[in-house]
Amino acid sequence: MSMKKSLNRLKLIMIRILPVFVLGTSAPAMTVSAVTAVSVVSEAAADSTGAPADVQLRSISSGAYNKITISWKKAAGATSYRIYRKAAGASKWSRIAVVGAKQLKYTHVASKSFPIVVGRDYTYTVRACSSKSGKLGGFDRKGLTIHTLPNKVVLKSALWNQAGTSVTVSWKKAKGGTYYRIYRRTPSAPKWKCIGTTKGDKLSFVDLAPVQGEKNSYTVRAGNAKTKVAGRFSGTQVSAVTRDEAELAETARLLKKSQTGGKTSQIILVVDHNLSFWEKGKSGNWTRKLSVYCGYGSNGLNADRREGDRTTPIGSFPILHGFGIADNPGSTLKYRKITSNSYWSGEYSTYNQWVESARPVAGEHLINYYQYKYAMAIGFNRNPVVYKKGSAIFLHCKSYDHWSTAGCVSVEESVMKKLLQMSRNGVYMIIVRQRGDIASY
């Protein structure tokens, strides 16, 4: 063997037999290799006697009135953890659970042996245990404390009554509470104000004095009268939708579901004496752009109207084109200017059609009607045309002294002009007696 190899072998033997000193003591530890010695010293920093390290607590929270969760960091040498609790004012800890070494969180659910009373303080701590040494680690004697509260309230709705004089607020039951407090705010009074209290078995409240003309928003919190503690605010709010807003939302929903709504992006809607203009956005939702009073046939609306019965047809109809005695007011909708030869025919061969003729044609001589200064032709009785079912059904300017018509729909001249400017080719018109009927078209 060479001299160099002999010296290296001697150095290796000396390293292996050198005593290991732990945490600065003079007592030699068991003889181990240099690599192993490093590992032992590192572990001994957390556990010099075989006991697991002290547990470092992380957080405490309460997800419900009867549940408390505590979490901690992993402790070196632990094979299990013991969870302890004590109520406010108590001097002794009570062990409530034992969990495995991999579990670093524990949720205490109230039980007969270890109840959780709403409104009281509870302190928790955790201690590590080693099954190898049979020893317990140290623990945080101060622990983590939490104040228990009733559950947060989950709100349901806030609805105006039919008369528009009161608002009913409703919510789901919040456990841990014996009463509820109701709060309201408005744009003019943005701070929450308590407007009433109900018992724990009541899940609604009627606000008899909502602020008229403003958005009324509500929230509710639960309280416990026995322990004199109030829960947190719900974190959400419900706003009372006015009757008009509710009807608007319902109309938009019905238009979206309707067959007509799938065919066009613009609808002129007549519900009894209200005419409104609606446009569909990229999302497919409908928005009202205009709402006005309108007139119609003197004998009302009719799903099976006939010529001369002075009723306005019910249904869904395409707008064929705009027309008028006046020039096109700026509409992109196809527009026809009335001339002295313009007729809407009532004759059999050209029934219910626009005819330009130098000779008189039975039907309507369009230039003779000032109501047609601005108008739209409604596609009623088309494809196929049925003789005597009805002709010349228009949307036009109202008469000077009355609203009723022989079967057309009438609006103010300024509104008729505006409708032409808003409309595009492909616009439809739906005429119904009541809102719910929209779904049929």
pLDDT band at 15 (very low <50, low <70, confident <90, very high): very low
Average pLDDT (7-32) is 35
Where are the strands (E) in 101-239, listed by range?
Answer: 105-109, 121-130, 135-136, 144-147, 155-160, 167-171, 179-186, 189-199, 204-207, 217-224, 229-230, 238-239
Average pLDDT (186-192) is 92
Average pLDDT (247-252) is 88
For the chain, give the mean pLDDT: 87
Residue 246, pLDDT > 80, answer no
Encoded amino acid at 113, one letter:
S
Average pLDDT (116-136) is 93
Average pLDDT (386-409) is 96
* Distant-in-sequence, close-in-space partners of 169: CB < 8 Å, separation ≥ 6: 155, 157, 158, 182, 204, 205, 206, 207, 218, 220, 238, 240
| Per-residue pLDDT, 163 | 78
Residue 25, pLDDT > 70, answer no
| Per-residue pLDDT, 48 | 57
Give long-range contacts, CB 8 A cutoff, 24+ apart: 164-168: 164/212, 164/242, 164/243, 165/208, 166/206, 166/207, 166/208, 166/210, 167/206, 167/207, 167/210, 167/216, 167/218, 167/240, 168/204, 168/205, 168/206, 168/207
Q: Which residue has the higher pLDDT, 42 or 137?
A: 137
| Per-residue pLDDT, 247 | 82
Q: Which residue has the higher pLDDT, 22 or 88?
A: 88
* Distant-in-sequence, close-in-space partners of 329: CB < 8 Å, separation ≥ 6: 374, 417, 420, 421
Rounded to whole angstroms, the Cα distance separating 88 from 117 reads 11
Rounded to whole angstroms, the Cα distance separating 265 from 145 reads 60
| Per-residue pLDDT, 241 | 66
* Distant-in-sequence, close-in-space partners of 113: CB < 8 Å, separation ≥ 6: none
| Per-residue pLDDT, 89 | 84
Candidate from 37-41, 158-162, 250-254, 402-406 with smallest mean pLDDT: 37-41
Encoded amino acid at 296, one letter:
Y
Candidate from 42-56, 203-217, 400-414 with smallest mean pLDDT: 42-56
Residue 17, pLDDT > 80, answer no
Average pLDDT (323-333) is 97
Global confidence as pTM: 0.55
Rounded to whole angstroms, the Cα distance separating 62 from 68 reads 4
pLDDT band at 249 (very low <50, low <70, confident <90, very high): confident
| Per-residue pLDDT, 2 | 47
Q: Which residue has the higher pLDDT, 162 or 6?
A: 162
Q: Which domains does the chain have, with CATH numbers?
A: 57-147 (2.60.40.10), 155-241 (2.60.40.10), 244-440 (2.40.440.10)
Closest listed residue to residue 203, CA positions, set 177, 242, 241, 231: 177
- The tens digit of pLDDT for each residue in 272-304 reads 999 999 999 999 999 999 999 999 999 999 999
Residue 179, pLDDT > 80, answer yes
Residue 226, pLDDT > 70, answer yes
**Would you say how long the chain is, in residues?**
441
Strand partners of residue 345: 363
Q: What are phi and psi of 35, to 5 degrees?
A: -65, -45
* Element holding 413 (H helix, E strand): helix 413-422
Rounded to whole angstroms, the Cα distance separating 124 from 55 reads 12
Classify the phi-psi angles of 77: left when phi > 0, otherwise alpha if psi is within -120 to 50, otherwise beta.
Answer: left
Rounded to whole angstroms, the Cα distance separating 104 from 77 reads 14
Residue 243, pLDDT > 90, answer no
Rounded to whole angstroms, the Cα distance separating 332 from 426 reads 11
| Per-residue pLDDT, 38 | 28
Q: Distance between terminal CA atoms of the chain?
A: 105
- The tens digit of pLDDT for each residue in 67-102 reads 999 999 999 999 999 999 999 888 899 999 999 999
| Per-residue pLDDT, 242 | 66
| Tokens of residue 148, six digits | 């228990």
Rounded to whole angstroms, the Cα distance separating 382 from 318 reads 10
DSSP structure string for 160-188? E-TTSS-EEEEE---TT-SEEEEEEEETT
Is the distance from CB of 189 to CB of 211 less than 8 angstroms?
yes
| Tokens of residue 22, six digits | 């732990």
Q: Could you identify the residue written with the tokens 């369009």?
A: 366
Rounded to whole angstroms, the Cα distance separating 306 from 384 reads 15
Closest listed residue to residue 307, CA positions, set 380, 404, 388, 385: 388
Quick count: other Cβ atoms within 10 Å of Cβ 63? 10
Rounded to whole angstroms, the Cα distance separating 326 from 92 reads 95
Encoded amino acid at 263, one letter:
K
| Per-residue pLDDT, 394 | 98
- The tens digit of pLDDT for each residue in 355-370 reads 999 999 999 999 999 9
The percent of residues in the chain predicted with pLDDT above 70, rounded, is 88
Q: Which residue has the higher pLDDT, 135 or 246?
A: 135
Q: Give alpha helix (H) positions in 220-280.
A: 243-257
Q: What are phi and psi of 70, to 5 degrees?
A: -120, 145
Q: Which residue has the higher pLDDT, 132 or 427?
A: 427
